[in-house]
Amino acid sequence: MPDLSVDIGGLKLKNPIMTASGTFGYGEEYAPFINLNDLGAIIVKGLSLKPRMGNPPPRIIETASGMLNAIGLQNVGVQAFIEKKMPYLRTLEVPVIANILGEDPEEYQRIAERLTPVPGVAALEVNISCPNVSKGGIAFGANPESAIDVVRRVKSVTDLPVIVKLSPNVTDIAMIAEAVESAGADALSLINTITGMSVDIDKRIPHLKNITGGLSGPAIKPIALRMVWQVVNRVKIPVIGVGGIMDASDTLEFLIVGATAVQIGTANFINPQSTIHILNGLLAYMEKRHIRDIHELIGTLKC
């Protein structure tokens, strides 16, 4: 069997297939459908310091080859995560990555502090697409200074690998990537959802109560791929590709462009076994071409 193992900033994964935050609940929801231990890693729903109610409904709407969501980061909060969700996740033999978010840089730091000693948490993924409430609601990930601030604070309180998840809603994602790398990030994941909108023409109201939402699914894949390609050319740390990955060939595109691993998001909704189908497809591709190590594929784009 080909060697699929990869290293994400010190975190060893047996294969590069991870689940994208917010699309895989806290893992347990998918236990009836797949053997969770077959995954490279599980990334759980974004966690805030206190539980968050999230946005009023409607929160989702399908659009051409994608969907908009405005969940508003509804989550149980870090305390309930540790008490109620971790005991199950710890029984698994798969690295669990906690995705964290905050309203201000202190909140990120405090969540990182809380999660670092928790047995079973293998790494942190820092979602910097959230609005910085202390700076007028502009996303942390939208300017290098606030992104650096968040990453430095998180790094200062944790020895876990820190993956920084970048927002695509920026002018120059490679510049943010470089800034985040300089602040000590161990790896990057990209992209988060792209802000979009959809209108009900009968009622002349937005389809989402929140008016705007984040676009995910196949519609964003070319953009995600382009951004991963731009970023891998500018940073040395590993990059995880996310965005519209539905099958093994989508995964291969990201690997060839230079992603060390991928995250599967919206595809989980369409088929809860997507991750495993993708893993099997990847294996079949490698076996057919006698590729023995996944690294023979990563970053092999010819152009």
Ligand X SMILES: Cc1cc2nc3c(=O)[nH]c(=O)nc-3n(C[C@H](O)[C@H](O)[C@H](O)COP(=O)(O)O)c2cc1C
Q: Does 81 bind other proteins (CB under 8 A)?
A: no
Q: Does 29 bind other proteins (CB under 8 A)?
A: yes
Mapped onto helix, strand or coil, the DSSP state of residue 199 is strand
Q: Does 73 bind ligand X (CB under 6 A)?
A: yes
> From the CB of 207, what's the least distance to other proteins, in Å?
9
212-216 sheet: strands from edge to edge: 60-63, 66-69, 212-216, 194-197
Residue 32 binding partner per list other proteins, ligand X, none, with a CB distance cut-off of 5 to 8 Å that depends on partner kind = other proteins
Q: Are strands 17-19 and 11-13 parallel, antiparallel or unpaired?
A: unpaired
Residue whose tokens read 């510049």? 175
**Torsion sign (Cα): 210, 215, 216, 217:** positive
> From the CB of 209, what's the least distance to other proteins, in Å?
9
Residue 99 binding partner per list other proteins, ligand X, none, with a CB distance cut-off of 5 to 8 Å that depends on partner kind = ligand X
Distance separating alpha carbons of residues 287 and 147, to the nearest angstrom: 41
Residue 30 binding partner per list other proteins, ligand X, none, with a CB distance cut-off of 5 to 8 Å that depends on partner kind = other proteins
192, 129 Cβ separation under 8 angstroms? yes
Give the nearer residue to other proteins in terms of CB position, either 10 or 25.
25
Does residue 130 carry a catalytic annotation? yes
DSSP letters for 84-144: IIHHHHHTSSS-EEEEE--SSHHHHHHHHHHHTTSTTEEEEEEETTSEEGGGTTEEGGGSH
**Torsion sign (Cα): 61, 62, 68, 72:** positive
Residue 243 binding partner per list other proteins, ligand X, none, with a CB distance cut-off of 5 to 8 Å that depends on partner kind = ligand X
Take residue 51 and report the two structure tokens written for it: 């539980």
The interface region with other proteins, picked from 62-70, 162-170, 235-243, 252-260 by CB under 8 A, is 62-70
Which stretches of the chain bind ligand X, using CB under 6 A? 20-23, 45-46, 69, 71, 73, 99, 127, 165, 192-193, 216-217, 220, 242-245, 265-267
Residues involved in catalysis? 130
Which stretches of the chain bind other proteins, using CB under 8 A? 22-25, 29-33, 45, 53-54, 56-62, 65-67, 69, 71, 74, 217-218, 246, 266, 268-273
